[in-house]
Amino acid sequence: MNSSHYHVTLPDDIIRLIIDVFIQESTSDAFCLFLISSSVKEWAEPHLYSKIVLRTRKQVLSFSSALRGDFAFCQPARHVKFLWLLCTDVSVTHVLHDVPVKCQNLIHFAFDAKRAPFVVPYTARETDDQFPRLSRLSICSPMLLDDQFYTTDPPVPFEHLTHLHLFAPCDPNSEKIYDVFLANHIDRLVSLTHLLIEVTIPSPESGYVNLSFLAEYAVFAILMREEFFRDLLVRVPTLRKLVIKTNYPYQRFYLLWDQLKSRLKDEPRVIFDLQNISSADADRLENSLSSSQPTISIPTWQKLLCVALDESIQHWSKS
């Protein structure tokens, strides 16, 4: 009997489940689903475009074209909930200036500080529909933020932010992230429940080779702002957790780390998270700390950053 004469019709929920599994297993191949039918395309799009990670100039330019509606088959704007801008090409910064308006359902925005799309002047600043649902913000390597970021009053919906993640605030320039960015808007953080400060390896573009100094300075900068953080906990009563996280495995760093823990031990909402790493990873990090040349490539750093962002999502979902 020729089985090709038989047709099996599956319930919609089963078809959706199959599509979900297929997309999770192979995102790059999932676009072929668009060719099956308009219904399947409609089911697949929210899953394919929910989380966008932009690592290269080509990816940024393609995404920007899609936001403008240049591709009839690809219209991701309304589906994007997580957008991580990790591209290291400074020439593409202006390309995504319309993200705050175009991505109306964006929940979590992460960006490498040198590529902050906020700082580019654009007409959308005059509207009130920027980031209407944004509640989570990750700023990576704040040391790379320029003065324009602070002077232009970036269109961050501070009143709606529930989660703020500072990844690798490591050098003297990073002090502005506390003294200006947070301090100037502290009374607008009426919804903030989680603040995560992650002391780790900054972007290779920082140009720093003495990573041990940066790690120690990052902790020292927090230590010297003990009163600021105590004031933050008082003035932002919604803040349930202030997590200070690191994975630096060398003794001199531990001395500062333990001192900071001791100074803030009376604050139950302050949590210190010292990550355990393998001895092999510890050796590699130890070597990178003492090396006169940076030992981490941009792709490797982007991978580390993606892992950290995923971990932040998992951590926040549990608390």
Q: 112 and 88 in contact (C-beta within 8 Å)? A: yes
Residue with tokens 């998270």: 273
Angle between helical axes of 226-235 and 211-223 (0-180°, round to 10): 60
Q: Report the candidate in 125, 119, 110 with the shortest Cα–Cα distance to residue 55.
A: 110
> What pLDDT, on a 0 to 100 scale, did the predictor assign at position 112?
82
Q: Low-confidence residues of the chain, pLDDT below 50? A: 1, 120-127
Please write the tens of the pLDDT for every residue from 263-285: 999 999 999 998 776 666 666 66
Decide: helix, strand or coil at residue 157. coil
> What pLDDT, on a 0 to 100 scale, did the predictor assign at position 291?
55
> What pLDDT, on a 0 to 100 scale, did the predictor assign at position 46?
80
Q: 188 and 160 in contact (C-beta within 8 Å)? A: no
Q: Report the candidate in 243, 236, 230, 153 with the shortest Cα–Cα distance to residue 189.
A: 236
State pTM to two decimals.
0.84
User: Rounded distance, CA 58 to CA 214, Å?
Assistant: 32
Contacts of 122 by beta carbon, 8 Å cutoff, 6+ apart: 97, 98
Please write the tens of the pLDDT for every residue from 225-236: 999 999 999 999
Question: In degrees, to the nearest 5, what angle opens at C-alpha 97 toward C-alphas 101 and 44?
Answer: 60
